[in-house]
Structure 1
Amino acid sequence: MTLGGELLSALCNSVERACLIAVELKRFLCNSLIEAKEDELKNENAQSDFKTFADVLIQQVIIRDLESSFSELKGQVFGEESDKITVHGKVVPVKLSESDSDVVQTHHVLSEVLKNKECIETLIDIIHRKGKFQENLWMSGDFDDFEIDLGNLAFWIDPIDCTKEYIKAAIKDCRDFDNRRTVEQGLPCVTCLVGAFDVTSGTPILGVIAQPFVSTSVSIKPRTSEVFNSELFWGICTPKLKATNINQEIVKEIGIARKANASTELPVTVLSKSSNDFLQALSGHFDSIRTCGAGKKCLTTLLGFSDCFINSSGGVYFWDMCGPHAILLALGGEIFSLMEFKENGLEMKPIRYAVPSKFPLEQVSECCLKNGFIYALEYEKVLSKLKPCFLSE
């Protein structure tokens, strides 16, 4: 057994560095280093799907941080992306040394991909904490004591969720964003998602949602860069402890403002891409709001902008939902299969997670939540409102 605070501290600090990496690569315009994914690896609902160097580097940094700090996790940390990026037709492996002092190896990897020396030096500073980024923001004492069995734990990482917005959105368009409001698109929709789950039961235990592009933080301990603060939300859900750093006073304020501005008293949902038939079924029973990215959609529910996040069309994966699911569980919510609900009503089991048959992934279909889902805090109320939507089916 390991003290869970040590693990969560290491995870949060690693994700904070991930946010800084995302900002610096965007600032130096290195998100132009993009690669189209092959059919077996792309989102099943997307005509085209891309990864950037930021996706690959962030995932490798988090894997390195966790596996080098906790040997029991070796081979148990999985992510959406491969460990390679293609640059000008050349396949470049992104392999980082387990030693946090091996700057030479990191410099070699970055120089294979990047040409901007200032960017390379800044990234080395972030990854190895050798200069102004050397401090850890999160300490084990920031979390309540809890024990965790590392030998029965696995992780899913989505290093850059909402990659499309990361690629196309401009930094200047979101300099004043904070989470007291929500947006339909842009860099505030970009998140870094990490979740840990119990391998035996598939139940999420730890989760982190981080936003690299936030100007004013509503959470504690904002990590500052020269451009943005980062926003990081965490959650713990074990048999003995449920805890999160989401400020419930701010959530209450958001809920009051939402009701004051609402034209109806209908519950509110945020939707993934849905068929016209599904939208028609919800019409008259739910209002809806729009935003993009699975992580940001989950935040609309966690922060009180919506009552639920409903996906009806697949195209969402273990790495998208494991972290947000853990935070939801910490607050008393749950995720259920939409198809099972439509077929069986309330007689259904919560969604659970599994390790991939092979990693790096050769195909993503085994990790897809194909049957859709309902992500809700007060899920009994949400399910009761959903039930009339499908009575005719």
Structure 2
Amino acid sequence: MADLLRLLLRVAEKAANVARVCRQEGPLFELLVQEKTGDDKNKKFVQDFKTLADVVIQEMIRHDVGAQFPEMAAFIHGEESNKFENGLGESVTVTVCATQEETAALLAAVLDGDHTAASLLARAIHQDPASIDADTDGLTLPVGPSELGIWIDPIDATSQYIEGREEVLEEGHLAPSGLHCALVLIGVYLRSTGEPVMGVINQPFNHKDPAGGGWRGKHFWGVSCGGVDVCSVSRPKGGAGLSAVLSSSEKPVVKEALTALCGADKLMYASGAGYKILCVIQGLADVYVLSEGSTFKWDSCAPHALLRALGGGVADLTKCLRSGSGAQDPQIELTYHQPCAECKGAERWANRGGLVAYRDRSQLLAAVGPLKDKLLV
């Protein structure tokens, strides 16, 4: 299991490199941000280059993990379909090939013969990252790779990644928007129960290099399984009162209830579901509340594992509101192994009941209490 964690840290850093290269290299950056017009307007690869960047990262992770752990290959899931139609109407399935040259040729077919962009992307995919420092030696868990599945979110908060605003952060404060909110998320769950047992989060745009000016990343990881709870983040010390982070589009009744509970100065807003859960992990907020079913298993699996390692979790908000036993009911936690039978497409994997991310059960109870009368009708 230490080998699996080391591998996930490495492929997450490779993914972060791809994300950075797409913003740093001119030919890729133009495809990423430009709105095409005229004859180019209906070309799927141009409209969806951001999706191609996501798919390339997803398939790279799938390729590398499947190569080292073939027993997991059929249980590596992601947000994106890997099938594209190019400007000639040809269907191309995006995969990572054995060599950089073969991958470049395949990507050129998707990109209507743009060999420069395809070569830059292929080079980033096949480039090994610098070694990742993580104290994983001796990590043993009572499960093996054949019992596990993986959820990948290649670039969470894609809209913030595309927009690319560079916010200046104050120490101890969260980023309401911008590149800081874009994350690579890789979560591992037990196939039998759906419990999240391992998570890796990579923040590709954590800080600028003072010397070279380029972006540098930061990684976080956690393991929670069979009595083993280890996290790269120390458990934050609790402050006075309760602080919460929400989406700016959250329902007014939720904002009002939590403003009354927390106070206006401790109710914050940020972009990206993964980033908001990371804020709870880091102690920048005590809870993250979402009343809509607008997140998916790939958004929450990785950070959920880190919170479990810290003694917290990610609960289904609707189940919390309806549970007679309150936050002590283990059935309220999100799981990751079963789709919603009555839904179709991506909605099969939505966290349909909303969610509450928390580090402490008392904070979960405090946040959910004022919402019962507001949301249960």
1:9 and 1:178 map into 2 onto residues whose CA distance is 31
Kept in 1, the 8 Å contact 2:85–2:92? The answer is yes
Report whether the alignment pairs 1:207 with 2:204. Answer: no
2:192 and 2:318 map into 1 onto residues whose CA distance is 24
2:74 and 2:67 map into 1 onto residues whose CA distance is 11
Task: Give the 5 Å matches for 1:156-235.
Answer: 156-170=151-165, 173-174=166-167, 180-215=172-207, 227-235=214-222
Percent sequence identity over aligned pairs: 27
Displacement of 1:270 in angstroms is 0.9
Which structure carries more relative contact order (alpha carbon 8 Å, separation 6+)? Answer: 1
Among 120, 126, 131, the alignment partner of 2:124 is: 126
Displacement of 1:118 in angstroms is 5.8
Kept in 2, the 8 Å contact 1:33–1:53? The answer is no
Higher helix share: 2
Kept in 1, the 8 Å contact 2:205–2:217? The answer is yes
Task: Give the 5 Å matches for 1:100-139.
Answer: 102-114=99-111, 119-129=117-127, 133=128, 135-137=130-132
Among 314, 324, 345, the alignment partner of 1:363 is: 345
Q: 1:296 to 1:83 in 2, by over 3 A?
A: same
Q: 1:375 to 1:89 in 2, by over 3 A?
A: farther
Deviations 1:347-384 (A, max 9, x none): 631221115599xx970111111111111001223313
Displacement of 1:179 in angstroms is 7.0
Q: 1:62 to 1:72 in 2, by over 3 A?
A: same
Count of aligned residue pairs for this structure pair: 347
Q: 1:21 to 1:226 in 2, by over 3 A?
A: farther
Kept in 2, the 8 Å contact 1:191–1:210? The answer is yes
Among 241, 246, 249, the alignment partner of 2:228 is: 241
Q: Which amino acid aligns with 2:149?
A: A
Q: 1:193 to 1:332 in 2, by over 3 A?
A: same
Kept in 1, the 8 Å contact 2:222–2:229? The answer is yes
3-state SS, counterpart of residue 85 of structure 1: strand
Displacement of 1:335 in angstroms is 1.8
2:84 and 2:214 map into 1 onto residues whose CA distance is 26
Kept in 2, the 8 Å contact 1:333–1:376? The answer is yes
Alignment RMSD, CA only? 3.0
2:152 and 2:308 map into 1 onto residues whose CA distance is 18
3-state SS, counterpart of residue 354 of structure 1: coil
3-state SS, counterpart of residue 283 of structure 1: helix
Q: 1:364 to 1:33 in 2, by over 3 A?
A: farther
Displacement of 1:181 in angstroms is 3.0
What stretches of structure 1 move > 6 A for 4+ residues in a row?
Answer: none
Q: 1:355 to 1:107 in 2, by over 3 A?
A: farther
Displacement of 1:92 in angstroms is 3.2
Q: TM-score w.r.t. structure 2 length?
A: 0.82
> Which ranges of structure 1 fall in alignment gaps of 5 or more residues?
36-48, 218-223, 260-264
Q: TM-score w.r.t. structure 1 length?
A: 0.79
Among 268, 278, 281, the alignment partner of 2:254 is: 278
Q: Which amino acid aligns with 2:310?
A: L
Q: 1:323 to 1:378 in 2, by over 3 A?
A: same
Task: Give the 5 Å matches for 1:1-393.
Answer: 4-28=1-25, 29=29, 30-32=31-33, 52-88=51-87, 90=89, 91-97=91-97, 99=98, 102-114=99-111, 119-129=117-127, 133=128, 135-137=130-132, 142-147=136-141, 148-170=143-165, 173-174=166-167, 180-215=172-207, 227-247=214-234, 251-252=236-237, 265-272=240-247, 273-286=249-262, 287-345=266-324, 346=326, 348=329, 349=331, 350-354=333-337, 363-391=345-373
Q: 1:26 to 1:92 in 2, by over 3 A?
A: farther
